[in-house]
Amino acid sequence: MLMNCTIPGGSYAGWGWGSSMTDTEMVIFSADATTPTVGTYYSTGKTPPGADAKYESCYTTKINDLGNGFIEFITTRPLDCNIADSYVVALDTELELITAWNPTNPELSFHSGNYLEFTQLFASDGSCTLVEAAGHNLQYYIHGVFMWTAWALIGLL
């Protein structure tokens, strides 16, 4: 998989491989102006997720400062990391996923209402489709559509 995340400096965005914060592998993109980073986490519930280094080998990231106040993260991940408890991305299946972001803090922090639970279809032809965004008002749905449209599955790695 190829994930492309472009966010403003001073913010973070995260992707969770699961339907909620319970038992979910996460990748967090932190657009700190001086040291942007990508971190792997595991969440056990509605408490702050803990950093989990065992997932780091699943992700390879190139970070670009675009010079216009935005940081670009280009991240690859295999469909199956072959690590215990790591999420296996099933093709041609509707998957329940989550995302969260904080537009004012690059550190992993409480995201208030800035989150989205959604269903995504990653097809074996390389396309991805937002199937449904659950239970949020229009601004969260629109943000989710724009954010995850930027993340594309380009093929099997």
* Domain total in the chain: 1
Structural domain span for residue 131: 2-149
Q: Is the CB of residue 30 less than 8 Å from the CB of residue 36?
A: yes
CA distance 142 to 1: 23
Residue 156 within any structural domain of the chain = no
pLDDT tens per residue, range 74-83: 999 999 999 9
Residue 33 within any structural domain of the chain = yes
pLDDT tens per residue, range 14-50: 989 988 888 999 999 999 988 999 999 999 988 888 8
Residue 65 within any structural domain of the chain = yes
Residue 154 within any structural domain of the chain = no
Residue 157 within any structural domain of the chain = no
